[in-house]
Structures are given as structure tokens and as C-alpha cells.
Structure 1
Amino acid sequence: MKPMVKKLAVLLTATGLVASLAACGKANEAGSASSATSSTAASAKPVAPADISITTLAFAAAPTGELEAVKKLNEKLNVNLKLNWIPAAQISEKLNALLASRDLPDVLFVEDFNLTPAFLNAIDQGAFWDLGPYIKNYPNLAKYPENVYKNASLKGKLYSLPRVRPLDGHESMLIRKDWLDKLGLQQPKTMDELATVLEAFAQKDPDGNGKPDTYGAVIPGSPGPASYLLSMFGTGTKWKEENGSLIPYWYTPQAKDALAFWNKSFKAGGILPDFPVLKAAQIKDMLVQGKAGVAFANVIDAYKYNLELQKVNPQANLIAVELPKAPDGKAYYEQASGYYGQFLINKKSVDEAKLKKILEVYDYTASVEGYNLATYGIQDVDYKVKPDGSVEQTEEGKKKGYSGDTTGQWVTGYFDKYSRAKISGIPTDVYEANKKVVDAISSITDPTYGLMKSAPFKEKGADWDKKLNDMMVNVVFGKNTLEDWDKLVKQFKDDPSFQQHLKETNEFYKEKSK
């Protein structure tokens, strides 16, 4: 019987072990299920909204109450936006005070680092996020042109979200098409053809009133001539890169060619005689009064000014066209920076998770839908979209404080290549013609965008600019000669302070270009 007892004992033991293992398995399954349930419950628990403080500027009175649009954004993006507006006239002073107090918001607007240079030191000390590695993950922000980010970068890195603006469309030639037709002339495509048109507008009575009271172009000469007078001839924009280094655009032989051209045009009546004292704000007045038939301005200005022209002369037809080609056969435009002001993100108060949430907010407001909500409020209540796609603020929206001059100042916006070619109510044919002008533009970037001013320039820049501007104006209207111009350029080349300015500017440029 003993062997049988042993076998039975072994069998019972084995049976107990199996039962025990089974029980453990069930317990583990139950435990796993319980753990999974607990984990699911935890993940289902609402995530608290991210508090995001933003300080920006305002060109008009800030809203006094909580805006419904901000509530909608908070709900949609699971954030708690705390917006603070500073009057535009006080922005630099207030920002410097904030930086000195070390009590910065999560996001803050900087208009110009040259006005608030202390922020550059803060960037060097690691106070703000480098956003370059993140932008590609946000589709609307990633749509901004590469040059916008390049122009806004510092020392080869992107420390800000630029408030995006068009790169082109701010330079075009406005011309009286009805004057061309009356005189049997074509749109000038070259500088020689432009000279012919300007002289004809001055001497052949294009308005048909029998009086010698018209001129070719209205060009501002105060406080100095517009840079496009030179850059249209291929000088570069403010600075020109040659063999990896920068030189002032007025050093170039093309600058002297440009001054010779405008001087000849001035003598033939091709420029208003008040040129030395005319300001940019007077361009519109001279065109609307029928004093001049050519100007250089935003593409959309032609349509805007023509509306006023036609109140006096229904047959007037001021249009925007491409700039004439320089003697080398190319048309030269100055490219804009592509932004106005920049938003920095505070690294002290913002960890990477919060950074990504902030970029999510700005990515949404970089869409048309998000931008309109943030800027104008609730569609069909606070604003309406017109058939041509433009936005019109309602009286209700105005009462609540919505305005592009205030509520639109905390977002970066969306990129619209043609925003300088259109305005609410513009006829389709005019808009399509304006778009073609913008599409034809191949512009040149100013290589010094984003660079700090050199130490010598901070001290003497105003005096240097005045000497240059005065000489340019005087050469154009004949008070000084081209020989005088050459002497002034030589003075600058012989000036140790100016040479130090060139040296420092090139150092800044090379640092940015790394």
C-alpha cells in the first residue's frame, strides 16, 4: 500500500499546484484588468487647460471685457489665454521694464531689437526658446516663406514667431493709363522708355486742359529720397553682397547711373519741382490732383487713389504695373522683410510640453479661420465675410472691442502673397491684373534684415544718413554734380569710423549666416 499512498500524495500535490497556479492566473488577470481599468480612468480624466500669458501691443484701445472669441479658442485648444495689450507708443519702454523685472509673460511681442537691444543679451543667455526645430511640425506656420524665417532669425537661429506680412507688392509703378492712351504711348518697360513717358507727361498736355500744369512722376525727397530710386538700377537694397562681404548700395557704379538718370528726368520736367521737400504722404495728393502721372507705391494704391481721381475725372485710369527694367535688362525690386515684429517664448516659464501647446495655438491662428476668430470675433455676429472674401467688422463687433488694431495684434496671422494687391470691394478684373503684377516680381532681399546696428552707426548714423540724403536730393535737382557725389563717397571710404561700421556690420552678417 505504501507505493499507492505515495502516488496518491504526488497526484494530490500536483492537482493542488495546478489549482493554485490557475487561481494565481485568475488573480493576475483580475489584477491586470483592474490596473487597465484604473489606467483608462486616469487617461479619461480631463487635462487641465494650459495657462498661457501673452503680452503684445495695441494701436487702439484694448477690449475692457472678456471676449467671446478668446473663450472659443480656450475651449477648442484646451488653454487659458491671458492677453495683455500695451499701447504702441509705450511698447519699447514697457518691454524693457518687464525684462529688467525678470517677470516676463510666456509670450511677448518685440517690435524691433534695435529699439530693445537688452533682449539680445537675454537671448544669448538662453532666456528664450529656439523655435527652429519645431516649426516644421505645425503645418500653418510651416507655410510661411523661408525668407520670412531667415529674415527674422538671429545668429542663424530662430528665436521668434514673426508676425507675417507679404514679401512683395509694396513696390510697383502707378501710372495714368488714360494719359498714355491720349498721347499714343505704351507702358514703359525700360528706363529709356520711362524717361520718354515722364517727359511727355510734362510737356504734351496729357490732361488736355491746354495748360503746362502736369509733370511726370511724384517722388518724395524729404527727409531723403526713397531707396528704390537707386535700387531700381540694380544697386541692391541698402546693402549689396560682393564676394561674401557687404558694401553699402550707394558705393556701386549703378548708384551713380541712377542719380544721372533722375537728374536728367528732373531737368525735363519728369519729376515734380517740389521734389526736395515732398514727403511720402503727399504722393496720393499729387496723383489725385492730377499733377503727376507716375508714382512708385503699393500695388493696391493705384485702385484706391483712382477711386478718388474718378470723382473729379470719371475718365481717369490709374493702374499698377511692373517696374521698368534697368539698363542690364532686369527689373529690380526690394523685398520686404515679410514680418512686422516678433513673438519670443519665455524659456523660464515654459517647458517643452507647454511650448508645443503655445505653437499649437499659433498654428491655428495662422489659418484663415483661426486668424479671423482671434481678430474679428464670431462670424456673422461680430464680423461678416463679403463675397470677395474680405472681412467687415459689424457694429456689434466694434462695440465689443474687436479690431485688427488691437485684437489682431497677439497673433502672427496667415501668409497671403496678394494682400497688397486687394482691398474690400475691388473689381475682379482689377484684382486679377494686380495679382499678375505681384506674380511678375522677382525681388532682392536686404541681407541686413535682423542685424543689430553697429556701435559707430549708433553714434554717427543720423549724421551719415543726412549727408547722403542731402547729396542725393541735391544731385537729382541739380544743386550738386556727380563729381560732388564721387567726393562724398570717397569721404566715407576714408572715414575710419565708417570703415569700422562696415567691419562690424559684416561681422554681424557672417554670424547670422552661419
Structure 2
Amino acid sequence: MFRGKTKLLLVGLITMLLFVTACSNKEKASSEKDGDVFTYTFFNASSTGKDVNTADTKIGKMFEEATGVNFDIEHIVGDSNQKIGTMIASGEYPELLNAQNATNDVIDAGGFLPLNDLIEEHAPNLRKLYDPIWEKMKNEDGNIYILPSGVSNGYVKPPNIDQNAFFIRRDALKELGYPHPKTVDEYFEIIEEYSKKHPTLNGAKTIPYTLLQYDWHVGQLFDPPAFLAGEQEGIMVDDETLEVSVHHNKDITKKWLEKLNEINAKGLFDQESFTQNYDEYLAKISSGRVVGFFGPRWESGTALDTLEQDDDPYNDFMGFPIVFEEGIKDQYLNPESFVTSPGMGMTTGTSEEDQVRIIKFLDHIAKIDSQKLITWGIEGETYEVNEEGRFYRTEEQIALTTKEEFRDEFGFKALGWYWPIMSGTFNDGNAVDPNNQPEVAELAYDEVDKEFLDAYKIETFTDLFTEPDPAPWFPFWDAVIETGSEAQLYDQQSRDLIKRSYPDIILADPADFDDEWNKFKKEFEKLPVEAYEKVLEDSVKREVELMK
């Protein structure tokens, strides 16, 4: 008897719950229809990280209240090209998309919407933000599909390295008397000497030198020869003629690979470099077992941020502008750049009403007050302003704003890079990035930082680096390479060949090095190299002309 009543009661409860849920969904849909809150998706193939809704952060909630819009931010897991390829094949995209290396593929597939008219009609702040590069942003068909991050408003030399450098574990430098390596030979001599003294670090086998070659993360293997030779950003551009050439089959690349082959023979090269994924690479860096690596600091930033908060500050790293031989002028620091990320685009399938809401949200972000909120935060909470109008942070605010948990909750990470934001300085003279503000950098240095600054007789860590020469063409990857063209064929085939051949060259017996190199060079020179160089050269010349 009671069992039957219970069954009827459950049916009644389920019916009531379904009714309440339906009403709730109906009310939510009605609320969205009335324009209260609209949730869209931003898929970011340029970054791994924790998926989050912007309204769950302090900044994002403020933006939602101002615009009625928030975003579910989704990050790449696995192979970004495969994920974007699936989107292209299905024709189903999130409303906002950063497609990283596959950006041109999405454009060619018709996946991105032209933004010119939307911006002109609905986004005056966005239009002003991009005014210096408005023509530069246009595709060959005259349309603007992508909104990049880091629109320059003047050059600021950063006090700390966030770009490419050869990094060495601080403990190695301290133990060996603070040596100052300038050449690639000196760099690896330090790594070898320290590694031999310390076969284990932090309870596990020492990793003298590692690199990352995974998905689009290929710069650690591809770019060093150019930097070591004093070139900018991984390609060779003649300053006078603007002639462009790739270096993968040149002597400078042979010289670099020969050095890696040499250190591999000595047992100093990480044998897992060519098989590890991004997360595994970061785990190695953060484990405190790695002695040296090359790359931009931001690529290893998650791991290095962890080390900065480690109980042992000597587990951290210091970067150096290493070159092949003394006398070569290093060019590791990025020059003033007007496009510094692949950027985001709005995708097809987004209704006209949603297009307007989204572009107005981005326009709100482009306001100067919003830009300062995104980078500096809230006055009195995350920064202060002195009598001269200079922004600064107290020691407590510096400690607070460097905590990952706080940055997540506040929205510095969710709404910072990859959105339409400035770089350089605001018109009031304050640095856009607090880390580039001298008042912040000097106060942020702890006792161990000061120990190394004093040892190398410098005031900031970039004092070791030469200021960059002007390069109005920078960055070169902004070039448009047509799908199916010979240049695009070279781009893909060369990557595949390099990923396949470099491990054989590096891991070969030294007696076989020349044979492996010549085999690679022979295959490389069958590729349509000249077609690719022509596209880059045309792009470089066009960029230089647009920036006059």
C-alpha cells in the first residue's frame, strides 16, 4: 500500500520538477529576449587554461552589467589544428574564435564575418583603438576579419623578459659564481658543468636541456638559428632591400643542430623533447629539474609562475640574449609592434542581433577606462595613483595580483590577452602592462632578484639585452598565405619535414650528423621555398609601405 503511494508521489514530484524547469527555462529565454543577459562562446586555440564564464570574474561581471553580455571561454585541449579543422568541416563555430595557426584556413572557408561595417557603425572605441593599423588589418579582399591583441601605442622596453631568451636555472648561476654567457658555447658549458655536479634535482633525474615541439609550439626548435645570428623573430630580412629568406637549410641552422647533436652525445639533451606534449613540458619546467631551455617566457609562463612562488627562489630561471659568437648584435626583444597576436574573429552563423551585441561588448572593452581595468584593475584595490598621476602598486598589491587564484577570480587572465587591448603606454604616460611600469618592477623585485641584478650590475633583467632595431614589417606571420597555394604547400610540408628530420639529425651519432643533415637539406630544397619567400617578402614590403 505504501509502495503505491510512494510511486504516485514520485511521479508527482517529477512532473512538478519538469514544470518548474520548463518555466525556469522559459523565463531565462524571455529574459535573454528582453536583452538582460546574453551568453556567447569564445573558443581560444592560442591558450590552454581553465574554461570560465567571464561573468564569474569581477571584471567580467562589471562588463556584463554594462553590456548585458558575457562569454563562456573555452580553451584548446589536444591538437588545435584538428579542432579547428573539425569546425571548418562541420561549419559549426563558436561566436568568437581565435584560430591561432589555422586563422587563414577559417577565413578561406568563409568561417569569419567581415567586421568593417559593424565596427564603423556600432563600435567607435574599437575603431579608434585600431586606427593606427586599420589598413594593415585588411585582408586582400578589403575586409577585416580578425581583431588582434596588443595594438601598439608607443614602445616600452620591458624590465623583465616575456619574450625569447636562453634561460638558465638560477641555482646554476649562483653556484658557478654568476657567469655571464654570451655565446651558445658558453651557455651549454654552464649547463654541462652544473648538470655533472647535480645528476639529480628535487628528488629526480636532472634534465640539462629540454625543448618543446608540439602542435603549433615549434618555435623552440625552429627559431634559435635566426636569433643566434642576430635576426629578429625567426626569419631573415635584409634591412636595405627587404628581401626575405628562410634559414632552415642555411649554415646557421646546421650550426645550431650540430650543437644540439653535440650536447645529445654528452647526455645533456632531453630525449623526450620530440614526444612530450605541452602539459608534460610545463610539468618538467615546474618540477625544478630543468637546467636550461630556449623560448619566449610566456610559453613557459604557467610553469615559471609556479616556480616564482616556490619555497626555493633559486629554482627559478634567468634569461640571456645568447648569440653564436661575440660581436653579433642580439635582437631578442620585440620591436614596436602593431599586431602581436593572431587575434579573434566573429564567426558566421551569428545572427545580426547577436553580431551587434558582441561588437558593442568589444567596443566597451576598447574604452580607455576598460583597458585600464583589464590591465591595472581597480584604483585603491589593485593599484594606486601618486600626485604626478603615475600608477603604482604597493608590495601588498603586487603580492595579491601575482597570485594565480586572485588573477582568475578578478578576471585579469580571462579578459586580458587575446581580447582587443593596447600595448605600450596610455596617453597619460603610464604603461599599459603594469609589469612594464618602472615603479612596479622595482618594487616587485625580491631579495633574490636583487642579488642577481647586483651580481650582473644591472637594474632590470632586460638591461642585458640590446634594444631592438625598428622593424615596421614585424611580425612576419601576419602575412596572408592562400590555401592551396605553393606557399601554403611549403608552409605545411616544411613543418612536417622539419618535425620528422630534426630529431634524426639531433639524436644521430655525431659521425652520422653530416649525412643526416645533407639528407634533410636535399629533401628541403625540393619544396617550393621561393614561392613562400616571395609571399613573405611581398607582405614585408606592403607592411613597411602601410606604416609610412
TM surpasses 0.5:
yes
The change in CA–CA distance for 1:302 and 1:467 in structure 2 (over 3 A counts) is same
- SS, match of residue 232 in structure 1: helix
CA distance 1:404–1:111, shift in 2 (3 Å): farther
Q: Is the 8 A contact 1:174 1:302 kept in 2?
A: no
Q: For the structure 1 residues 135 and 226, does the alpha-carbon distance in structure 2 shift closer, same or farther, using more than 3 Å as the test?
A: farther
1:178 & 1:430 partners in 2: Cα distance?
11
Q: Could you list the per-position Cα deviations for residues 94-122 of structure 1 after superposition, in whole angstroms to 9, with x for gaps in the alignment? A: 99799999xx99xx555453242148797
Residue 460 (structure 2) aligns with: 436
Query: How far apart are residue 363 of structure 1 and its match?
Result: 1.8
Q: Which runs of 5+ in 2 are unaligned?
A: 1-34, 44-49, 153-157, 383-392, 424-431
* Residue 367 (structure 2) aligned to one of 356, 363, 370: 363
Structure-to-structure mapping, 1:46-195, within 5 angstroms: 57=42, 60-62=51-53, 80-83=67-70, 85=72, 87-88=74-75, 110-112=98-100, 113-118=103-108, 129=119, 138=128, 141=129, 154=139, 161-164=147-150, 169-184=162-177, 186-195=179-188
Larger Rg belongs to: 1
Q: Which residue of 1 aligns with 2:329?
A: 330
Query: For the Cα contact (< 8 Å) 2:166–2:320, is it kept in 1?
Result: yes
Query: Which secondary structure state, in structure 2, belongs to the residue aligned with residue 387 of structure 1?
Result: helix
C-alpha RMSD over aligned residues: 5.7
> Distance between the aligned counterparts of 1:410 and 1:281, measured in 2?
20
* Structure 2 equivalent of residue 240 of structure 1: 236
Equivalent pair of 1:305/1:318 in contact (CA under 8 Å): yes
Residue number among 221, 224, 230 corresponding to 1:226 in the alignment: 221
Deviations 1:262-298 (A, max 9, x none): 2223333443344444455444544555644222351
State TM-score, norm by structure 1.
Answer: 0.61
CA deviation map 1:493-514 (0-9, x unaligned): 344x554444455555555555
Cα pair distance change 1:391/1:261, threshold 3 Å: closer
Measured in 1, the distance between the counterparts of 2:36 and 2:418 equals 16
In structure 1, which of residues 238, 250, 253 is the aligned counterpart of residue 251 of structure 2?
A: 253
Secondary structure, counterpart of 1:250 in structure 2: coil
Deviation at residue 448 of structure 1 after TM alignment:
2.5
Partner amino acid for 2:211? I
Q: Which runs of 5+ in 1 are unaligned?
A: 1-49
Determine if contact 1:199/1:216 at 8 Å carries over to the other structure. Answer: yes
CA–CA separation in structure 2 for the residues paired with 1:122 and 1:288: 37
Alignment check: 8 A CA contact 2:244 2:537 kept:
yes
Partners in 1 of 2:73 and 2:37 — Cα distance?
17
For residues 410 and 274 of structure 1, what CA distance do their matches in structure 2 show?
30
Matched, 1:387 2:397: yes
Deviation of 1:179 after TM superposition, in Å, equals 2.7
Question: Residues of 1 paired with 2:63 and 2:39: CA distance?
Answer: 14
Q: Is the 8 A contact 1:367 1:414 kept in 2?
A: yes
Alignment partner of 1:293: what SS? strand
Q: 1:338-417, aligned counterparts within 5 Å?
A: 338-339=340-341, 341-342=343-344, 359=363, 362-364=366-368, 366-369=370-373, 386-388=396-398, 390=401, 403=411, 411-415=419-423, 416-417=432-433
Distance change (3 Å), C-alpha of 1:342 and 1:64:
closer
| Contact 1:236/1:249 (8 A) holds in 2 | no
1:162 aligned counterpart, secondary structure: coil
Query: Does the CA contact (< 8 Å) of 1:239 and 1:446 recur in 2?
Result: no
State the 1:169 CA deviation. 0.8
**Contact kept? 1:152, 1:449, Cα under 8 Å:** no
Partner of 1:305: 307
1:217 counterpart = 2:209: yes
Instruction: Name the aligned partner's letter for residue 57 of structure 1.
Output: F
1:452 paired residue number? 481
Partner of 1:482: 514
Residue type at the aligned position of 2:328: G
SS where residue 367 of structure 1 aligns? helix
1:464 to 494, 502, 522: 494
Question: Measured at CA, do residues 252 and 471 of structure 1 come closer, stay the same or move farther in structure 2, by a change above 3 Å?
Answer: same
Equivalent residue letter for 2:340: G
Whole-Å Cα distance in 2 between the matches of residues 125 and 62 of structure 1? 24
Rounded to whole Å, the distance in 2 between the matches of 1:441 and 1:52 is 49
For residues 357-382 of structure 1, give each alpha carbon's deviation from its aligned partner in whole angstroms, at most 9, with x where no partner exists.
97465223543236677xx9x979xx
For residues 470 and 56 of structure 1, what CA distance do their matches in structure 2 show? 36
What are the equivalent positions in structure 2 for 1:7-18 lying under 5 Å apart? none
Q: Which residue is equivalent to 1:25?
A: none
CA–CA distance in structure 1, aligned partners of residues 418 and 270 of structure 2: 42
Assess, with a 3 A threshold, how the Cα gap between structure 1 residues 149 and 214 changes in structure 2: closer, same or farther. farther
Contact 1:239 1:247 in 2 (8 A): yes
Alignment match, 1:199: 192
Q: For the Cα contact (< 8 Å) 2:213–2:221, is it kept in 1? A: yes
Structure 2 CA distance, aligned partners of 1:178 and 1:394?
A: 27
Shift in alpha-carbon separation, 1:261–1:70, aligned structure 2, 3 A: closer
Change (3 A) 1:289 1:412: closer
Q: What corresponds to 2:21 in structure 1?
A: none
* Distance in 2 (alpha carbons) for counterparts of 1:276 and 1:503: 31
In structure 2, give the amino acid aligned to 1:447. F
Does the CA contact (< 8 Å) of 2:210 and 2:290 recur in 1?
yes
- Alpha-carbon distance, 1:391 to partner: 7.2
C-alpha distance 490-192 of structure 1, shift in aligned 2 (>3 A)? same
1:319 to 317, 323, 328: 317
> Secondary structure at the residue paired with 2:179?
coil
Following TM superposition, by how much is the alpha carbon of 1:175 offset from its aligned partner in structure 2, in angstroms? 1.9
Q: Secondary structure at the match of 1:173?
A: strand
Query: What's the counterpart of residue 6 of structure 1?
Result: none
Distance 1:365 1:125 in 2: 23
**Residues 165 and 294, structure 2, Cα contact 8 Å, conserved in 1:** yes
TM-score (norm: length of structure 2): 0.58
Whole-angstrom distance in 2 between the partners of 1:351 and 1:291:
48
